[in-house]
Amino acid sequence: MAPIAIVFGALLSVLGVALYIYTAMASVTALIPAFFGVPLILLGVLASYEKYRMHGMHGAALLGLIGFAVPLGRVIVASTRDGFAFGPGIVGSITMSALCLIFVGLCVKSFIDARVARKQKEAAAKTPQAPSSPAGL
C-alpha cells in the first residue's frame, strides 16, 4: 500500500503544479493539492519500512480523508453563491477530492484485508496440529 500512497501523492503534486502553471502563477492556493501530495509521498516512504508501516499508512489515510473533505466543502460552499462557475479552482478542488476519495477507499480496503489476514493467521496458530504418524506404519 505504501507505493500507492506515493503514486497518489505524486498525482496530487502534479495536479497542484499544473493548476499553478495553468492559472499563470496568480495564486499560491493553486498549489494546495501539492501541499497534500508531498506529505502523502513522505508518509508513503515512511510506510515502506515495516516498522513504521501501520503508522505511516494511518497518517496517509487521515491526510487523504482531509484532502477529500476540505476541497469538497469548498466546492459546496462556492456552489451556493451567486455567479458560480466551473473555473480552474473548482475543477482542481473536485479533482483533488476525487483522487483523495479513491485513495481513502483503497486504504480502507487494505486495512480490512490486513485485519482479515491477521485473524486468519491467529486462527491458524490456535488450531492444534494433528500428530504425525510414525514412519513406516
**Enclosing H/E stretch for 78:** helix 53-79
The C-alpha cell at 10 is: 505524486
Q: Using DSSP, state whether 83 is helix, strand or coil.
A: coil
Q: What is the pLDDT of residue 134?
A: 63
For residue 10, pLDDT over 90 is answered with yes
Q: Give how far Cα 54 sits from Cα of 61, 63, 66, 70, Å.
A: 10, 14, 18, 24
The 10s digit of each residue's pLDDT in 116-136 is 998 998 888 887 765 665 665
Q: What is the pLDDT of residue 48?
A: 95
The 10s digit of each residue's pLDDT in 52-111 is 999 999 999 999 999 999 999 999 999 999 988 889 999 999 999 999 999 999 999 999
Do the Cβ atoms of 13 and 27 come closer than 8 Å? no
Q: What is the pLDDT of residue 137?
A: 56
Q: What is the pLDDT of residue 46?
A: 97
pTM over 0.75: yes
Do the Cβ atoms of 73 and 94 come closer than 8 Å? no
Do the Cβ atoms of 107 and 67 come closer than 8 Å? no
Q: Give how far Cα 107 sits from Cα of 41, 43, 45, 49, 100, Å.
A: 14, 13, 15, 17, 10
When mean pLDDT is compared across 9-23, 39-53, 121-135, the lowest value belongs to 121-135
For the chain, strand residue ranges (E) read none
Q: What is the pLDDT of residue 132?
A: 63
Q: What is the pLDDT of residue 129?
A: 66
